[in-house]
Chain A
């Protein structure tokens, strides 16, 4: 890590976005208390996570990237056991329902599918009724349907007023869920803000709309522009004037992906050109 300065507000879904190896997991594990930082200051709900106080752990819930569970435990037993760790746990049946695990509540965990185990991960992180929830790559390996279901769970948690820190390398996911995102790469923050704002006013570059259509020879033309109004006027005017049509005309708004690709490419270019002096050696191992 080369220095990340982030403040997550109460009640928001904050996304840490970046490619694999960007330092997302390292950052989150420092916040969760699994790793100790080599320098800097960290405060989680007013606690220093490195002290690993029980008080703090009672108020947070963690969904690890790969956390296992006893092979012979059932979801209901696991939730009951986990609930006993917390002073004010949620009702186990309610959590089973929230995670969609009622039908599998009494099945041994080794007989559960990958998606069901992931829902159990969620359920175990929620049963203590935490204020702050860490979700590390919560939907990696999910099929689209399971991903949507997980997103719904995250939204319902947000509606309950929980603060959520989410790491993901899926841009779509960050865009769909996060109130604010930080784009990180190589252990530093490249941009931070609400996805909508990052898309509208990307740091260090104009927002590019993509206008695509079939040209006269039937070839696909794609043009980037800061001002789609003028371009569309020009194109449609031309087409109407010659009495033709613009086949497959589409206008794409800049997505978080565009912003992200542009930023991470810039960061690479900077590194290659050596224009940016290193702020220090990377101190933690890669995530």
Chain B
């Protein structure tokens, strides 16, 4: 299907262009995690052990924000504005549309991870990733998982005005519990169990292994399985529940 492929590429280019034209989206995607990194990094300055833990945490959070958060926002906006409905009426293949949207999210995540890695290296003495292969695997699986969950979650959001509330009600607790459990060995057992069952903590573990600790892919296979399961669940919900138009009620 060379035609569908060419259209995916065109859709991708359009998504990129639209992304850069929206300064607030660009800000939330790139600047916010960097501010986080800078703030926490300054506080932990001199403690290399802590800094080594901080970088994969921020990287994991970035994967979630560039996919889950960004896609939930985008899909709800486009749905409520009637853009999705209009696109659905054209011969643009559904696969090309979502291919372009997904590739756009992947690009943002890749850029984000690169920026964090570079900033970590320049400012906080983090080394180059020890396992490039493991890094790629975890980023790809993480992106697919959170992107699918973001699209699926968009379905639960009734209108654009409430998007921030809905997204943050998921994003902030997941980030908080995952950071806490990843960083503290004294977390209560049930909290640890919850965090391990959610996709973000295993992703941070995997990124940490690939970027700083050097434990590679082998030690994180069960974590990878958790992320993949969430991804499958998300894909199922994303496809099943997808709504191309605003509800009329």
Contacts and interface: CB of A to CB of B under 8 A. Distances in A.
Interface string B198-209: 000000000000
Contact of A73 (B6, B7, B18, B85): B18
Interface of A is mostly: loop
Contacts of B188: none
B18 A68 contact: no
Contact of A62 (B83, B89, B244): B89
B38 to A, nearest CB: 29
A75 interface: no
Interface string B4-45: 001100100010011001100000000000000000000000
Interface stretch (B51-59, B90-98, B189-197, B212-220): B90-98
B91 A128 contact: yes
Contacts of A82: 90
B248 interface: yes
Interface residues of A, number: 27
A124 interface: yes
Interface string A196-218: 00000000000000000000000
Given A64-B82, A68-B82, A84 B10 contact: yes
Interface residues of B, number: 23
B82 A66 contact: yes
A71 interface: yes
A232 B87 CA distance: 58
A32 interface: yes
Contacts of B17: 72, 77
Q: Which of B22, B86, B93 has the most CB of A within 10 A?
A: B86
Contacts of A142: none
Interface string A91-134: 00000000000000000100000000000000010001000000
B91 A70 contact: no
A81 B14 contact: yes
B154 to A, nearest CB: 16
B88 A34 contact: yes
B143 to A, nearest CB: 23
A285 B86 contact: no
A64 B89 contact: yes
A50 B17 CA distance: 33
Contact of A285 (B22, B91, B248): B248
B7 A68 contact: no
B81 interface: yes
B90 A67 contact: no
Contact of A54 (B81, B85, B91): B91
Nearest to B244: A34
B10 A71 contact: no
Given A85-B92, A86-B91, A128-B91, A72 B22 contact: yes
Contacts of A67: 82-83, 85-86, 89
Nearest to B89: A62
A58 interface: yes
B86 to A, nearest CB: 4
A134 B236 CA distance: 33
A71 B160 CA distance: 14
A81 B82 CA distance: 17
A34 B91 contact: no
A64 B91 contact: no
A81 B8 CA distance: 11
A32 B248 contact: no
Nearest to B94: A52
B78 interface: yes
Nearest to B83: A68
A54 B238 CA distance: 22
A69 interface: yes
A57 interface: yes
Given A58-B91, A81-B10, A84-B10, A72 B18 contact: yes
Interface of B: 6-7, 10, 14, 17-18, 21-22, 78, 81-83, 85-86, 88-93, 244-245, 248
The 9 closest A-B pairs by CB, nearest first: A68-B81, A72-B21, A68-B82, A67-B86, A62-B89, A57-B91, A67-B82, A58-B91, A68-B83
Given A33-B89, A64-B89, A69-B83, 5 more contacts: A34-B89, A68-B83, A73-B18, A108-B21, A124-B86
